[in-house]
Amino acid sequence: MKNIAVIGAGTMGNGIAHTFAQNGFKVQLIDISEDSLKKGMATISKNLDRMVAKEKITEANKTDTLSNISTFTNITEGVKNANLVVEAATENLDLKLKIFKQLDEACPEQAILATNTSSISITQIAAATSRPEKVIGMHFMNPVPIMKLVEIIRGYNTSDAVTHSIMEMSRKLGKTPTEVNDYPGFVANRILMPMLNESIETLYNGVAGVAEIDTVMKLGMAHPMGPLQLADFIGLDVCLSILNVMYEGFKNPKYAPCPLLVNMVRAGKLGVKSGEGFYDYSESRKAENVANQFK
């Protein structure tokens, strides 16, 4: 599998495209927005420049990586020769079902269809296609070029051959693939999101302030970033969406989102991307300092 199509040029999509291209794969980066594609490619170029400056890659490596990526605004055109498609669109079930139905119709018969969803059922997504045995989850971590883990999620009908193929491909990317089964939140978010939610509950109940909660977890639990700051970095809307998926999936009140989180999202305070969350990122320098902790 050498031709990889990536759906979505946002934070996860451009990171996935970057990672495949840097490892010699031909990548078709697809987004309905030409502006998003330009921003995505600019981000990839900037991140490669940073790697050159740190002497992790050469200028020639950067040039080769960028030359491996082509951009498309038309899904049908972008996926027509794909061996693997990795969908990295917004974490919205209806949107993903629509995309996978379209991919099923446009992709070659043997193409594997993967989703970067962090919580939505692979089995449910696969049911929108005529090839459920070829649908699988590839949950990359952010920032994709740096983080080693890829959660490989098998749907109910995902074949052993497809699972083995994607595990091997992930290793070729320099990642550590970990196979998990298809339950809400999988492993990473099933453990992470309740912790973030409980941190928000702790703030909501007045036990301690934002900085104090994050300090306890950083210094007491050796976390590189406090949970409230991490929630800001992930996006509070994304955290809310994942918690809702888990709550609906398990019907267990321990996954119910904290009212404070719900209200903050309603108010448009989404974290780094909106300029304000639990912390103030109104100055671009502040947001950059947070992002740099992951580089």
Judge whether 295 is annotated as a binding position: no
Identify whether 77 is a catalytic site residue. no
Judge whether 96 is annotated as a binding position: yes
Residue from 189, 199, 241, 274 carrying the catalytic annotation: 189
Judge whether 182 is annotated as a binding position: no
Judge whether 263 is annotated as a binding position: no
Residue from 151, 170, 241, 276 carrying the catalytic annotation: 151
Identify whether 252 is a catalytic site residue. no
Judge whether 90 is annotated as a binding position: no
Judge whether 126 is annotated as a binding position: no
CA proximity to 103, closest of 91, 114, 117:
114
Phi, psi for residue 113 in degrees, rounded to 5: -110, 115
What are the helix and strand counts (H, E) for the chain? Answer: 14, 8
Judge whether 13 is annotated as a binding position: yes
Give the chain's largest Cα–Cα span. Answer: 56
Judge whether 118 is annotated as a binding position: yes
Sequence-distant (6+) residues with CB within 8 A of 197 are: 239, 243, 255, 257, 258, 261
Cα 166 to Cα 179: distance, rounded to the nearest angstrom? 10
Identify whether 109 is a catalytic site residue. no
3-state secondary structure of 178: strand
Q: Which spans in the chain are helix H?
A: 11-22, 34-53, 59-67, 75-79, 93-106, 122-126, 160-172, 188-204, 210-215, 221, 227-234, 236-250, 259-266, 284-292
Sequence-distant (6+) residues with CB within 8 A of 231 are: 196, 199, 200, 239, 271, 277, 278
Identify whether 121 is a catalytic site residue. no
Q: Which amino acid is at 164?
A: H
Residue from 47, 68, 83, 118 carrying the catalytic annotation: 118
Residue from 68, 139, 199, 276 carrying the catalytic annotation: 139
Name the residues annotated as catalytic. 118, 139, 151, 189
Give the annotated binding-site residues for NAD(+): 8-13, 31, 91, 96, 118, 142, 273
Give the annotated binding-site residues: 8-13, 31, 91, 96, 118, 142, 273
